[in-house]
Structures are given as C-alpha cells and as structure tokens.
Structure 1
Amino acid sequence: MSAVPSSRREWLLSDRPQSRLQAKLGRAYVTWRSFSANWLAVAGLGIIIALILVAIFADLIAPYSPTIGNLKDARLLAPSATHWFGTDDLGRDIFSRVIYGSRLTLFVVILVAIIAAPIGLLVGTVAGYAGGWVDAILMRITDIFLAFPKLILALAFVAALGPGIENAVLAIAITSWPPYARIARAETLTVRNSDYIAAVQLMGASPFRIVLRHIMPLCLSSLIVRVTLDMAGIILTAAGLGFLGLGAQPPLPEWGAMIASGRRFILDQWWVAGMPGIAILVVSLGFNLLGDGLRDALDPRSGEQ
C-alpha cells in the first residue's frame, strides 16, 4: 500500500498541474516511486544514509580515541566484546578508527563532487553549445586527461602538490571532471538545435543565459547519476593514495592508510587490514547500488534495455 493518501496521490499524478510547484512535486513523486521499487537501490541509499549518520555522530558511536592507543596491553588484540574490530599494532581500537574514517571518506567524496562536477558541466555545455574551435580545444584538453589512468594521474598531481588529504582531494577532482564534460557535451548536442532553445534565442537570451539557465538543468540528471556511480571509484582512488602514503597522513584514520599499516600482519592478524577493507567494500557497494537505482529512476529507458 502507498503511504501517500489517494487524494494527494491523484494531485501529484495529475496530467494537468495547476502550478510549477505541483508539476515539480509530481515529477519527484514519480521518480521516488520508480526508485523505491528497486530494493537494491533502497539498500544502497540506506548504506549511504548510515555512512552520513556515522560520520555525524562519530564522537558518540566510537568507544575509544581513534589516534591514541594502549601499546602496552592492547596491541594486536583479536576482535572481541571489548574491541569489536580488534586493535592495531599501536594498540588503537580499529572500530573507532573505522568510524572516524567515515568522516574522511565523506569529506573526500563531497569535495570531489563539488569541485569536479561543476567543472565538467561547464566545460561540456560550453563546448557542446559553442561548437567549432571552442569545442575542438575543450574536447582535446579533455581527451588529454582521459588518456591517462585516473590513479596514475592523481599520483602525479599529489607528487607535485605534496602528500596530504587536501592535496589528495584536489588531485582526484582534477582527474575526475573529464567524463562529466563528455556527458554534458553529449546532452547539449541533443538539445542545442531543438525548438525549445530556438525559442529562447528568439526571445533575445544571451548564449551565457541559454547555457546557464536552459541547457545545464537538462544535463543535471545524467550528471547526478554519473557522479553517484563514480563515488566508488573516488573512494578507491583516495584509499589507493592513502595506501601509498600520499593521502591522509598518520595518525588520521583514513581507510586506505589503515590497510597499508595492516598489510604486515595480514596473515596472522587479518583484522588490522581486513576491517577497513570491508568498510571500503560496503560503502563502494552502496554508492554503486544507489547510482544504478538513480539511473533507472531518472532515465526509465535505461531500465527497459
């Protein structure tokens, strides 16, 4: 049974909305119905919501300090009722470090999305709408970035900027925008010569206003889906940089750095590297499931193929 009363549901699904608000709410309701019908997508959304809540309330959830351990009495203890995920080689509680590490993970994915997505959207829409030499120059620059593996390019930028979580975020963002530019350009090319854009041009709108107000909003749904699907790759890239010592620096509880410090004990004390690895797996899976659900909900044609 639907949680929305029948009268309100009929108002939301009306094919003749009386206002823009009603039309927007109706589209949002249809999208949510399509999304919620996919239980895997809902599970992915639940994982991401749990990640956010854990990051917000880390101070209340974590039973121990993430940076201070008991080297004398708590070194490399196996998982138990006292230390749920065991302890590392410095006597620090791994569960507490994983909990606080969720803040760093969320910090990385949010900042990368805020930096990379607008750059890709701007480059792609400008290239697609302007065409000609502008399109050629912007797309060749995009091709140069796409020619290198993302992790290798991020390593080069971090090596130039110096190790640290902020530089790692900047390096990942610099390497993440080209696919978004490609998607935005493709979307722009499909609507550039449409009657809708021609009518806006006849009304005297400037190219800047057309791109900003009328083309960019049409690209947002595809961009949101791609950003969500890329979150897993961003997490893995950040973990890879942390594993190599170029991301978050000790004693910050970054999951990749935790795996790097635990690789020496992987055969006898598997939990030191295994627990942060499982955290990366679960969160990456959540973003992938969420992205698949958003793709099907925002573009129903993809679910029919």
Structure 2
Amino acid sequence: MSQTAETPPTFREWLLSDRPQSRAQARLGRAYIVWRRFSENRLALIGLAIILALVFIAIFADQLAPYSPVQGNLRGARLLPPGTDGYLLGTDDQGRDILSRLIHGSRLTLLVVGLVAIIAAPIGLIVGTVSGYAGGWVDAVLMRITDIFLAFPKLVLALALVAALGPGIENAILAIAVTSWPPYARIARAETMTFRNSDFIQAVKLMGASPFRIVARHVMPLCMSSLIVRVTLDMAGIILTAAGLGFLGLGAQPPMPEWGAMIASGRRFILDQWWVAAMPGFAILIVSLGFNLLGDGLRDALDPKEAGQ
C-alpha cells in the first residue's frame, strides 16, 4: 500500500480522477473527456481542420495572397482561365487574381460569423434563460416577441433590415444578428425549464441567492453546451445569408472581396468563364461543410446522454 501511495498519478489519471481536488482540475477533466469523445469522430476532426485552416488563411492573408485583391491587370490578365500565367484559380473581369480575393475574403467571412455569434448568442441566451426561469407574463411576452421574429424567413427579414439601414458589411452583420437570436432563445428556454425546479436550484434559493444570481451563475452555464452546438451548426447558414446579401448588392460593397459579391459579379460569365463564379461558390461550400462537420462533432461530444454513459 505504501508503494502505491508513493507512486504519483499520471497527468491522464489526474484529469480523469473521480475526486478532483479543485475546480480547475474538474474543469480540465471535463474538457479532456469532451475532447477525447470529439477526437474519435473523424469527420469532426476534418471539420476542425477546415476551420483552423480558414483562421490561418485569414490571419496571414497578406503573406499568402500572391496578388492584390482589389487591383487587377485589365490589359493582360482579364478573364484568364485557372493555371494561366501564374494565376492558379484564374482572374475575373477586372483582371484580379481570384485566389488572392478568396484569401482576403476569408477575413470578411470570419468577421461576419464571429460578430454575429458574439451579438446573437448572448441575446438569445439572456432572453431564453430569463423567460424560462421567470415564467408567467414575462415568459409570455418574451416568447411572443421571439415568435414574431421566427415568423419571417431569415433572409427576407435580413433583406428588409439592410434595405432600411442601407447597404454595407456593418449593416449586413447587424441584420443577420437580429434575425439569428430567436432559435438560441428557444433552446435556452427549453434547457432552463428542464432544471429550474431541480433540487440544486432550490438549494441555491434557500441560501438566499437572488433570481439574477441564479440565472447568471447557475442557469446560463448549464445552457452553454447546447448553445455552442447550435451556434456552430448555424455558422453555415450565417455564411450563406451573408453571401446572399452580398450577391444582391446589400452586403459588402465593391471592391471588397466578399465571396457572395464575387459570385454576383461572375454570374454574367457563368457559361464561358465558369471559374469566376465557381471558385467563390466552392469556397463557401467547403467552409460551410467544415462548420457543419464541426457542429455535428460538438453535438456528439457535448451530448448529456453520451456524457452519462
């Protein structure tokens, strides 16, 4: 017994200990279990690799892009097919390198999905948890407001908001965020209602905690896993909505290399110079697929039923 007691546990055993000595150890242990379950999904790892590659390209766009994304050679490089004169993916009608525009356009894509998630997810989380915990007329009012937003198709409502605010990438992000929070509120409300009358919430009440503290410190953290999964799965839809606004000329304005706007400018040449519109469309496809695979993997890794097994 003394020999066993003197043997220090390995780092893995320390993470998987059923008697953690601190909150940090417990959190690291849960994170390790989630990562181990996530890494068993090959498709999820592919999705993670795609998103990490997108982040890397966006960070080092200036170093990776071989040409300027906004300036082209109208005289000698207009509508060149892929692989001609060093243009790997060809050029557009302004003589601009499509690969360089796609690389710099990754920054706009990450900007849109990042800001929409930062704006919409907290709004939905606050509305859903307050509605689910308070109940009564508060729940009725907040959920009816949510139903009003859900009654309109997301793209149609975003089009109406951008038309009212004016075209531009900032207004497009705000419009997409305003139309994206209702599903998060529904999920947070459903999660809150499952445990608002549970024993540990009642114990916190008996200790004198205020409703604000209960919602902020105990209810919201319990809703985070489901919300993260839903936000990740919605990234593909956010990208498509932003591309749709750009395609209609209501998103990022020329000469910004936004992928939807690139497709719009290339639709005139779709029959003869197919690469002008096909390359940004392929980029949207790959990134959307990456977010979907990542979201599916997170859903399986964070599933409470799986965690309990």
Calculate the TM-score normalised by the size of structure 1. Answer: 0.97
Which of 54, 59, 62 in structure 1 is aligned with 2:57? 54
**2:4 alignment counterpart:** none
CA–CA distance in 2 between the matches of 1:275 and 1:303? 41
2:6 is aligned to none
Displacement after TM superposition at 1:303 (Å): 9.8
Task: Please give the TM-score of this superposition, normalised by the length of structure 2.
Answer: 0.95
- Encode CA deviations 1:273-296: one digit per residue, 9 max, x unaligned: 000000000000000000000000
SS in 2 for 1:232: helix
Q: CA deviation at 1:21?
A: 1.2
User: Which residue in 2 is equivalent to 1:155?
Assistant: 159
- 1:192-244 Cα offsets, whole Å, 9 max, x none, are 00011101111111111111111000000000000000000000000000000
Distance 2:28 2:127 in 1: 30
Displacement of 1:16: 1.1
The letter of the residue matching 2:190 is: A
Q: 2:236 maps to what in 1?
A: 232
Whether 1:195 and 2:191 are equivalent positions in the alignment is no
Matched, 1:83 2:83: no
- 1:247 aligned to which of 240, 251, 274: 251
1:83 and 1:201 map into 2 onto residues whose CA distance is 66
Distance (Å, rounded) in 2 between the aligned partners of 1:79 and 1:34? 41
Kindly indicate whether residue 268 of structure 2 is the aligned counterpart of residue 270 of structure 1.
no
Matched, 1:116 2:117: no
Q: Could you say which residue in structure 2 is the equivalent of 1:74?
A: 77
**Residue aligned with 1:210, SS:** helix
1:299 aligns with 2:303: yes
Superposed CA RMSD in Å reads: 1.4
Aligned AA (2:183): P
Question: Runs ≥4 in structure 1, deviation > 4 angstroms?
Answer: none
Which letter maps to 2:119?
I
For residue 301 of structure 1, report the CA deviation from its aligned partner: 2.8
Per-residue deviation, 1:300: 5.1
The amino acid across from 2:73 in the alignment is N
Which residue number corresponds to residue 207 of structure 1? 211
1:121-142, Cα deviation, whole Å (9 max, x unpaired): 0000000000000000000000
Aligned to 2:37: 34
Contact persistence 1:296–1:303 (CA under 8 A): no
Distance 1:111 1:282 in 2: 21
CA shift digits 1:129-176 (9 cap, x unpaired): 000000000000000000111000000000000000000000000000
Q: Within 5 Å, which residues of 2 pair with 1:160-175?
A: 160-175=164-179
Per the alignment, in what secondary structure is the counterpart of residue 157 of structure 1? Answer: helix
The residue type equivalent to 2:43 in the other structure is L
How many residues in Structure 1 have an aligned counterpart in Structure 2? Answer: 300
CA distance in 1, matches of 2:306, 2:135: 28
Shift of 1:189: 0.2
* Contact 1:295 1:302 (C-alpha < 8 Å) held by counterparts: no
Percent of pairs with identical residues: 80
Q: 1:64 aligns with which of 56, 67, 72?
A: 67
Counterpart Cα distance in 1 of 2:306 and 2:181: 23
* Distance in 2 (alpha carbons) for counterparts of 1:300 and 1:215: 16
